[in-house]
Amino acid sequence: MIFALDAMGGDFAPHAAVQGTLDALEKTSKSLNIILLGDETAIRTELGDRDSDAIQILHTDEVVTMEDKGSKVLKSKPNSSLVRGIQLVKEGKADGFISAGHTGAIMSATLLTLGRIPGVRRPALAAYFPTEGRGKVLCDVGANPDAKPEHLAQFAIMASHYYDHVEGFADPKIGLINIGSEPGKGSNLYVETYKLLAEIPNFVGNIESRHLLTSEADVLICDGFVGNTLLKFAESWISFFTDEIKGKIDEKLSYKIGAGLLKPIFEDLKNRFDYEEHGGTPLLGVNGISIVCHGSSGPRSIMNSIFLAQKCINNNLIEDTKKSLAIHFGK
Amino acid sequence: MIFALDAMGGDFAPHAAVQGTLDALEKTSKSLNIILLGDETAIRTELGDRDSDAIQILHTDEVVTMEDKGSKVLKSKPNSSLVRGIQLVKEGKADGFISAGHTGAIMSATLLTLGRIPGVRRPALAAYFPTEGRGKVLCDVGANPDAKPEHLAQFAIMASHYYDHVEGFADPKIGLINIGSEPGKGSNLYVETYKLLAEIPNFVGNIESRHLLTSEADVLICDGFVGNTLLKFAESWISFFTDEIKGKIDEKLSYKIGAGLLKPIFEDLKNRFDYEEHGGTPLLGVNGISIVCHGSSGPRSIMNSIFLAQKCINNNLIEDTKKSLAIHFGK
């Protein structure tokens, strides 16, 4: 298997991509090759004497920055690591693309280059919440700030396949994020989406966000504005909580001792909700594997994203999503 | 000052209302009278020998339940404690109404009975987050799942007055909840709302939810679907966090000791994010004081809601909101 990795994307480029690649190669027993795209000198400097036969470097001289308009990069930065990486997938030279760069640019360039799975109206992004047991998937977390009921119904199928094929938990139950549990609750978008989801066998109804982490639903569906807002809020809570505790530690010796004793629990929680630990998320609904990583991804997150891309291929995510959409939406 | 209190609303009726009234009367030095509305026998039983000259009981024989359609209660339950209580405000027999009952019913009956402040398009609900320093107000948290840009712009003014007049912090800065910090980010609703808010001097721009608790903005504006989802998610996090710790306490003696030592910090956090502590929230934009309390409000929350109603009156919330809306929206 061979993956194209954007070495210039994210806050810790190219270190995170290079180190993540080396770690992935060391840990996997499967046949794995990585094409690192980006400034060859910078990548070689980072690699030092740790070069490997499994690594190729493809020099690109443009870099997509956060100031670029995501929807324009295909034309404005044709020789960027981001655009060239996705093209390698299209050309069949890579099995998937991975980047911690500009999310909007990855989504747009992927969609325009690889196209959609037949029948898919809108690609979507899913995020995994590592709760007790199977964990939860929230979808969409930002690809579609303005969505329609038919989009959300498709997200339910796409995200269920992600949950089953990539996270590895069979028969996921689907819930609709809403502001009340009864049918008929919510904005027009959610009232109409409920009706469409009610026709899917695994749908368990509306889920209020207070039960997001604990309800029977495994896959939680919402529009990209709500999902992105929830995801970012969740990320901030762990820090808020630990910062509150840190802020008080100096008040009393007993607090300092208590915090020291509970440190393993806090660290476990922080790790579980750390994107580092989990890696990126595949852009769902596009006709190929394109993994979007958090901008602040470090080496571990990149390594895990490579493993995630492997799972997508090994478990036939795209073909199975295609079949299931055809069954549910008749195309 | 005299307030009408729905003794039948909420999970702990009539105990919470009766006990909350007694506690408020004991703690306040100001002239305060409470009309308790509901089943007279139940209220008298709860009161026992603790009756006071400052308490009147107004018997009502209908009760609004969660099964009632909020928008219909004015007609379907005309002799309910909820409907009669709001009517007392309209008739000038009470200075404000307080209820922990069916939120949709309180909003609808209040709107239809008291009407809106001239110029207000939609009433809204605000919630206070007790962060370090001045705290944050999030608005709307559920009154308007489907909102328009003009509504959100008015919420900014209404919530700023609430922050200033009721929470007591002058010159609040306004932020717009969004999925990115740059102008032009978000769904159409948020792109258009940004343009309207940009004309208000205290507007500081888009705020991503990860910075909701820590940004420079005091008053955070969003539609009722997003706000309700964020509020309920926030409520669940404290429990999620403490439950995670509780679940591990038995694994090691050191965890048990550590949790014991940190207990005061956990309890402080829990209290700070407990609606009990803070009381309800006035329905903003209606032409009178109507305080919506959380359904699971206990006595302390009811007592604090009574004090909150006092502040609304003492600090001239309604008249000042009216003036400010006229300045900003020319009516």
Q: Supply the pLDDT for residue A130.
A: 82
* pTM of the entire predicted model: 0.91
Q: Supply the pLDDT for residue A247.
A: 84
- What are the tens digits of pLDDT across the range A196-217? 999 999 999 999 999 998 999 9
- In CATH, the number for domain B121-284 is 3.40.718.10
CB contact under 8 A, A214 and B236: yes
Rounded CA gap, A132 and B15, in Å?
37
Q: Is B229 on the interface with A (CB under 8 A)?
A: yes
Average pLDDT over residues B70-85: 96
The least confident of A290-304, B61-75, B227-241 is B227-241
Q: Is the peptide bond before A78 cis (omega within 30 degrees of 0)?
A: no
Q: Supply the pLDDT for residue B276.
A: 64
**Chains A & B: contacts with CB separation below 8 Å:** 135
CB contact under 8 A, A269 and B229: no
Mutant choice from A225, A249, A250, A263 vs B, greatest count of B C-beta within 10 A: A225
- In CATH, the number for domain A1-117+285-315 is 3.40.718.10
Q: Does the pLDDT at position A30 exceed 80?
A: no
CB contact under 8 A, A261 and B265: no
Rounded CA gap, A260 and A266, in Å?
10
B273 closest CA partner among B222, B218, B221, B232: B232
Average pLDDT over residues A280-296: 94
B85 closest CA partner among B2, B6, B1: B6
Q: Model confidence at A269, in pLDDT bands (50, 70, 90)?
A: confident
Closest approach of A299 to chain B, Cα-based (Å):
23
CB pairs under 8 A, 24+ apart, for A54-60? A54/A25, A55/A21, A55/A25, A58/A4, A58/A84, A58/A88, A60/A8, A60/A84
The least confident of A1-10, A271-280, A305-314, B60-69 is A271-280
B-chain residues within 8 Å CB-CB of A222? 229
Q: Supply the pLDDT for residue B229.
A: 96
Rounded CA gap, B160 and B138, in Å?
10
Coil vs helix vs strand at B128: strand
Q: Does the pLDDT at position A257 exceed 80?
A: yes
Share of chain A above pLDDT 90, in %: 78
Average pLDDT over residues A49-70: 94
CB contact under 8 A, B233 and A230: yes
Q: Answer for the pair B123, B285: CB distance below 8 angstroms, yes or no.
A: yes
A55 forms beta bridges with: A34
Q: What burial class does residue B300 get, using C-beta atoms within 10 Å of its C-beta: 0-12 exposed, 13-18 middle, 19+ buried?
A: buried
Q: Supply the pLDDT for residue B282.
A: 92
Rounded CA gap, B256 and A35, in Å?
49
A-chain residues within 8 Å CB-CB of B258? 257-262
Q: Are strands A124-129 and A281-284 parallel, antiparallel or unpaired?
A: antiparallel
Closest approach of A249 to chain B, Cα-based (Å):
9
- B26: how many CB neighbours lie within 10 A of its CB? 10
Distance, CA of B321 to chain centre: 17
- What are the tens digits of pLDDT across the range B131-184? 878 999 999 999 999 999 999 999 999 999 999 999 899 999 999 999 999 899
- What are the tens digits of pLDDT across the range A122-133? 999 999 888 878
Query: Closest-CA residue in chain B for A145?
Result: B187
Q: Answer for the pair B318, B326: CB distance below 8 angstroms, yes or no.
A: no
Identify which of A210, A241, A254 has the shortest CB distance to residue B241: A241
Q: Model confidence at A246, in pLDDT bands (50, 70, 90)?
A: confident
User: What string of DSSP letters covers B34-87?
Assistant: EEEEE-HHHHHHHHTT---TTEEEEE--B---TTS-GGGHHHH-TTBHHHHHHH
Mutant choice from A72, A178, A237, A269 vs B, greatest count of B C-beta within 10 A: A237
Residue for token pair 């919506």: B292
Residue A320 corresponds to which tokens in the numbers above? 């199975």
CB contact under 8 A, A210 and B236: yes
Q: Does the pLDDT at position A256 exceed 80?
A: yes
Query: Closest-CA residue in chain A for B246?
Result: A265
Q: Supply the pLDDT for residue A275.
A: 61
Q: Are strands A174-178 and B174-178 parallel, antiparallel or unpaired?
A: unpaired
Q: Compare A140 and A267 and report the one with higher pLDDT.
A: A140
CB contact under 8 A, B262 and A265: no
- For A121-278, which CATH class? alpha beta
Angle formed at CA A160 by CA A203 and CA A172, multiple of 5 degrees: 60
Closest approach of A210 to chain B, Cα-based (Å):
5
The least confident of A158-162, A277-281, B84-88 is A277-281
Q: Model confidence at A170, in pLDDT bands (50, 70, 90)?
A: very high
A-chain residues within 8 Å CB-CB of B209? 228-230, 232-233, 236
B297 closest CA partner among B6, B91, B94, B1: B6
Average pLDDT over residues B282-308: 94
Q: Supply the pLDDT for residue A236.
A: 83
Secondary-structure breakdown of chain A: helix, strand, coil percentages, each rounded to the nearest 5: 50, 15, 35
Q: Answer for the pair B3, B96: CB distance below 8 angstroms, yes or no.
A: yes
Q: Model confidence at B129, in pLDDT bands (50, 70, 90)?
A: confident
Do the domains at B1-116+285-316 and B121-284 have one common CATH topology?
yes
Give the C-alpha distances (Å, rounded to integers) separating A125 from A144, A207, A225, B89, B154.
9, 19, 11, 49, 33
CB contact under 8 A, B233 and A209: yes
Q: Answer for the pair A40, A325: CB distance below 8 angstroms, yes or no.
A: no
CB contact under 8 A, B179 and A225: yes
Residue for token pair 């969740």: A234
Q: Does the pLDDT at position A174 exceed 60?
A: yes
B110 closest CA partner among B131, B126, B88: B88
- In CATH, the number for domain B1-116+285-316 is 3.40.718.10
Q: What residues have CB less than 8 Å from A201, skipping those under 6 apart?
A: none
A121 closest CA partner among A89, A95, A161, A153: A153
Put simply, the chain B residues between 201 and 220 with a CB less than 8 A from any chain A CB are 208-214
Mutant choice from B229, B244, B274 vs A, greatest count of A C-beta within 10 A: B229
Task: Compute the mean pLDDT over every residue in chain A, rounded to the nearest whole number.
Answer: 93
A-chain residues within 8 Å CB-CB of B233? 209-210, 212, 230, 233-234
Q: Answer for the pair B262, A245: CB distance below 8 angstroms, yes or no.
A: yes
CB contact under 8 A, A229 and B225: no
Task: Compute the mean pLDDT over every residue in chain B, rounded to the nearest whole number.
Answer: 93
Q: Model confidence at B108, in pLDDT bands (50, 70, 90)?
A: very high
Residue B35: phi and psi, rounded to 5, are -100, 115
Q: Model confidence at B275, in pLDDT bands (50, 70, 90)?
A: low
Q: Compare A241 and A54 and report the one with higher pLDDT.
A: A54
CB contact under 8 A, A208 and B232: yes
Q: Is B71 on the interface with A (CB under 8 A)?
A: no
A-chain residues within 8 Å CB-CB of B237? 234, 237, 241
**Where are the domains positioned within chain A?**
1-117+285-315, 121-278
How many CA atoms lie within 13 Å of A106's alpha carbon, on the beta-carbon side? Answer: 33
Closest approach of A87 to chain B, Cα-based (Å):
27
Rounded CA gap, B297 and B287, in Å?
25
If phi > 0 it is left, if psi is from -120 to 50 it is alpha, else beta; for residue B330 that is left
A-chain residues within 8 Å CB-CB of B145? 179, 186-187, 190
Put simply, the chain B residues between 138 and 177 with a CB less than 8 A from any chain A CB are 142, 145-146, 177
Q: Is A230 on the interface with B (CB under 8 A)?
A: yes
Rounded CA gap, B123 and B108, in Å?
10
A79 closest CA partner among A55, A46, A109: A109
Q: Does the pLDDT at position A331 exceed 60?
A: no
- What are the tens digits of pLDDT across the range A104-123? 999 999 999 999 999 999 99
Q: Does the pLDDT at position B311 exceed 80?
A: yes
Query: Closest-CA residue in chain A for B259?
Result: A258
